[in-house]
Structures are given as C-alpha cells and as structure tokens.
A and B are shown apart, each in its own frame.
Chain A
C-alpha cells in the first residue's frame, strides 16, 4: 500500500495581488548549503490530512501537527478522524503492511527476534482498551514567556479504543534480562532535514510502565486500521504518559540496560525542571527530569464555547476528565470564576487509563456573561489549578482548568 498525503498544490485559493521574483542574494546563500536532494516546498499549502475531520486545527504541516477543538472531542471513544496528530518528523513515504516487521533487541534482550505483523496477531493474545493519549505539550499556548513548539490549546488529547497485543507478552517471549531498565522505540518516520542518519524521535518508558497490562503494541484504533498519521500499521500505546512515548510506525524496540538515550530523551525535550522555577528561567540539563504520568485534567466538550441561551434555558454541560496513571475521583464546575463550585456526576473509567465522563446541569442567576470552568481532582486529591501551572522551558503539562464562554440573553 502506498499513501500520498502531502498535497502540494500549485497555488493558493486566496486572492493575491501579484507576484515578484526577488531574492537577490538569497538563492546563492542557501543553494550551496542545502542537501542535494532537497526540494523547496515554498508553494505548499496546509490542508487537513486524508481521513481527518475538516474542523481540526492545523498548527504545522511540516511536520504535521493538528489539534482537535474541545467541542469535537464529545464522543466517549474518540473517532479516528478526530484523533489529534503530533508528528516530529516526516511520515514514512511508503508503508508495506505485508512486509512490516518489528525487531526486539537491545542490551537487556536475551535474544534478537523479528516479528511480522502476522506473527504478532497470530501468536499473542489480543487486548482492547480505551486509552487516553495526551501530548506532553498540550496547553503550551498558555505559558508566558512563550515556550517554543506547537502552540497547542486543549485539543492534543484523545481516548480511542486500541487493539493489539501486550508489549509485556512480546518482550517476555524474547526474554528480558534482569538488568533491564528502559525500553526505547524506533519508528519508520524520517528526519525533517532529510538526513537518513538522523531520527526524528526515539523515546521510551521504564520497564515498570512497559510491562503494564495496558501497554500495547497496537494495530487497530476503534476496530479498524489506524490512520496513517497516527502510526499505521503498528504503534506503541502507552496510556496516561506523554503521547510521545507511544512510538508510531514502530519497527524496533530495544530493551535497554540504561535509561533510553534516543532522540528527544534529553535536554528540554519532554523534560521539566526537577524543582519549581521562575518564568523564563534557564535550567541546567542536570536539573531536568523526564515527564512520566501526565497530570489530572478535564475538558468541556459540550457546549462549544460561545453558547448564547435564554434565561429559562437550563444548560447541561459535559466533558471528560483523566489523570495520567491515576483515576479521577471528583469533578466540579464553576460559573462564577471559581468562587463557588458545583459537583458533577462522574462516571468510572471503562478501564484503567481511559478518560471518564462528567456532566452537570447549570442554572444561571441572571442575564449576562459567564464562563464555565471545569476542575477535576485525581484519586490522590490533587486538583487542576485554575490559573496556569508552573512555567517550564518547553511549556509542558499545562493542566489549568478549561473554560468556555456562555451568555445568558
């Protein structure tokens, strides 16, 4: 199967006045420094990748980073077309499902073993879980000073139903040495610069997370092949942790005897200061720690922000809440900027690491402008902050209360 997903159309729909060819010295400057096989994509226009909902928000088209507005996340199980895209590199140009293999190796693997997709499907028990995947940088746009990277709002999160085999079963079939510390994944995506020697991303998780029941080598999302942009034909799904640990287009997993040292495991990538820092601070590498479980968070999926209603009209609000490795034990909403809170009905998760549904009926005391704020509390008593949490260099882990605007007219 071959996919074509870059729509490089000649030109724009917007009205344009004119064109000028200029550049003067520019071409000389970069022509001799660009890779030989590089074709400038100056005319590229961003369009939603095939199979994704037209109302998703494109943050970047090279690499593809596309978020889902909160009101489109209303489904309990996120449909494939509404699952966000967070890519670090270029999607593999060609996916050959028939010949796709997964290699297990590494210092702490007792052997090296290669599995075809068929081997995985035939030789191991299948498991299906609803798993919350949230980008570590979800909410980055809230930080000031701004943190570089895609300026996600609330929508870099999904909870689809994933089917595959347990990573544990596959690793154990190969044999795990007693000195195993971490797994590191490798995928078929390619570096943005076109350099075949560089990897866009190669992250992983400690063995304790890798060996959990819910950590899957998945081939299906919601009972079907997952979209190309989400990792088809095989990916890791590590619920509750930064979604960058759920490697896509997966072709190798190394069982490491050290903390995995792949691309984007060090520096500021997916790491936060080990102690609170002032906004804009420079933090030495040695003081940064890897993000593990994501924090407690919730979103309002109904109504869409901007709802105007009549005085007599009650408003049934609803959404989802999740808490990384933990569960959500309580959900509250406020219509008076956090002065008073109303307890919501909160459902249990379908399985561990699935998001939970909440709802509440709101009545407004008089006409006017309101904000509905939503606040979840996890099973250990930790709640979402109402304002932006502690600043960190790359703007991760913003779990501030989601807010929508409502007007009673």
Chain B
C-alpha cells in the first residue's frame, strides 16, 4: 500500500535528521510554533493528520491558518481542482498570495490527496465493526 511507503520514508527521513537526539520517551517541544511529530503507526503528522512528506510544512503553514486540516484530509482532488479551491479561498475567504509556496503545496496535495479511481455501482460497505447483536447494549 502506498501509505506504508510514505510511512517508511517519513520515518527514515526524520530519524536521520534527528540523529543522535533521538530518545524513545522524548516529548516534542514546540519551538517558534512549529515542529514535526511523527505518528509512528500511520506515518501521519498527529497534529494535522497530514501525510508526512515533502511539502507538509508549507501546506500546514498556509492551509491550516484559518481552517482545520481535516478539510483537506477528508477530500480528494486533482491538482487542477486543488488550485481552484486555492483561488476560491483567495477570492472569497481572505487567503493570502501563496507566492513560491503555491506550486509546492499543489505538488503535495496532488500527490497525497489525489482522487481514487475506484467507483462501483454499489460500493462494499466499509469499516464494518462486527458485533454480536445479542450482546449489544443498544
């Protein structure tokens, strides 16, 4: 699965960056309001849920100023449609000019939050949490 590759890469990159500073019980300390913390299980940044990969910092800095990161992580779109969303926010919602960050943010969004192509007439029900009805409380 794609996610595992991302996880391995993100984990490796950050581990290398930290080098000797790594301590298993260390707690992240925010400095200048920014840091990256890695959820070792999913390869996602626990503060935002963003895929930890190149572009996460810019995306977080520019896109979570006004709204929750989940407005991004819930959604999937092509690069073109992500750009439309940025333009709409600039026209209607006071989003600032992203400058040189814009193509980098678009690269990130288009890569990790791209549409899935699977679409079925009747999708299988997902994430069914099976339980014995006779033992259920409600």
A: which residues have CB within 8 A of B? 11-12, 14-24, 26-27, 29-30, 33-35, 38, 40-46, 58-63, 71, 74, 144-146, 148-151, 191-195, 198, 302-310, 313, 315, 337, 371, 387, 403-405, 407
Closest approach, in angstroms, between the C-beta of A13 and any C-beta of chain B? Answer: 9
- Given the contacts A29-B99, A307-B136, A315-B133, A19 and B36 also touching, CB distance less than 8 Å: yes
Return chain B residues, CB-CB under 8 Å to A151: 74-75
B: which residues have CB within 8 A of A? 11, 14-15, 17-18, 21-23, 26-40, 46-48, 57-58, 60-62, 64-68, 70-71, 74-77, 81, 85, 93-101, 115, 119, 121-122, 125, 128-134, 136, 138
Return chain A residues, CB-CB under 8 Å to B65: 30, 34, 38, 40, 193
Whether A40 contacts B33 by the Cβ 8 Å rule is yes
In whole angstroms, how far apart are the Cα atoms of A61 and B64 in the complex?
A: 11
Q: Which of A15, A41, A337 contacts B64 (CB 8 A)?
A: A41
Closest approach, in angstroms, between the C-beta of B46 and any C-beta of chain A? Answer: 5
Return chain A residues, CB-CB under 8 Å to B119: 144
Q: Which of B15, B27, B66 contacts A62 (CB 8 A)?
A: B66
In whole angstroms, how far apart are the Cα atoms of A46 and B48 in the complex?
A: 10
Whether A60 contacts B96 by the Cβ 8 Å rule is no
Return chain B residues, CB-CB under 8 Å to A303: 133, 136
Whether B96 contacts A33 by the Cβ 8 Å rule is yes
Return chain A residues, CB-CB under 8 Å to B129: 304-306
Q: 23 interchain pairs (CB within 8 A)?
A: A15-B39, A16-B40, A17-B38, A18-B26, A18-B28, A19-B37, A21-B31, A26-B34, A26-B57, A34-B65, A60-B71, A148-B77, A192-B66, A193-B95, A198-B93, A198-B94, A306-B128, A308-B131, A313-B133, A315-B133, A371-B125, A403-B125, A405-B130
Whether A193 contacts B66 by the Cβ 8 Å rule is yes
Whether B122 contacts A387 by the Cβ 8 Å rule is yes
Extra contacts besides A17-B26, A302-B138 (4): CB < 8 Å: A29-B61, A60-B71, A191-B94, A303-B133
Whether B37 contacts A18 by the Cβ 8 Å rule is yes
Closest approach, in angstroms, between the C-beta of A131 and any C-beta of chain B? Answer: 25
CB nearest neighbor in B for A147: B75
> Which of B33, B40, B85 has most A Cβ within 10 Å?
B33
In whole angstroms, how far apart are the Cα atoms of A149 and B89 in the complex?
A: 13
Whether A20 contacts B17 by the Cβ 8 Å rule is yes
Whether B136 contacts A62 by the Cβ 8 Å rule is no
Closest approach, in angstroms, between the C-beta of A16 and any C-beta of chain B? Answer: 4
In whole angstroms, how far apart are the Cα atoms of A150 and B23 in the complex?
A: 38
Q: Which of A19, A30, A148, A192 contacts B93 (CB 8 A)?
A: A192
Q: Which of B36, B76, B93 contacts A146 (CB 8 A)?
A: B76
CB nearest neighbor in B for A62: B68
- Given the contacts A15-B40, A387-B121, A146 and B115 also touching, CB distance less than 8 Å: yes
Whether A16 contacts B68 by the Cβ 8 Å rule is no
In whole angstroms, how far apart are the Cα atoms of A307 and B131 in the complex?
A: 5
In whole angstroms, how far apart are the Cα atoms of A367 and B122 in the complex?
A: 22
Whether A71 contacts B138 by the Cβ 8 Å rule is yes
Whether A21 contacts B34 by the Cβ 8 Å rule is yes
Whether B94 contacts A195 by the Cβ 8 Å rule is yes
Whether A20 contacts B14 by the Cβ 8 Å rule is yes
In whole angstroms, how far apart are the Cα atoms of A149 and B88 in the complex?
A: 13
In whole angstroms, how far apart are the Cα atoms of A387 and B121 in the complex?
A: 7
Whether B36 contacts A20 by the Cβ 8 Å rule is yes
Closest approach, in angstroms, between the C-beta of A400 and any C-beta of chain B? Answer: 10
Return chain A residues, CB-CB under 8 Å to B30: 11, 19, 42-43
In whole angstroms, how far apart are the Cα atoms of A117 and B23 in the complex?
A: 58
Closest approach, in angstroms, between the C-beta of B128 and any C-beta of chain A? Answer: 4
In whole angstroms, how far apart are the Cα atoms of A171 and B46 in the complex?
A: 50
Whether A18 contacts B101 by the Cβ 8 Å rule is no
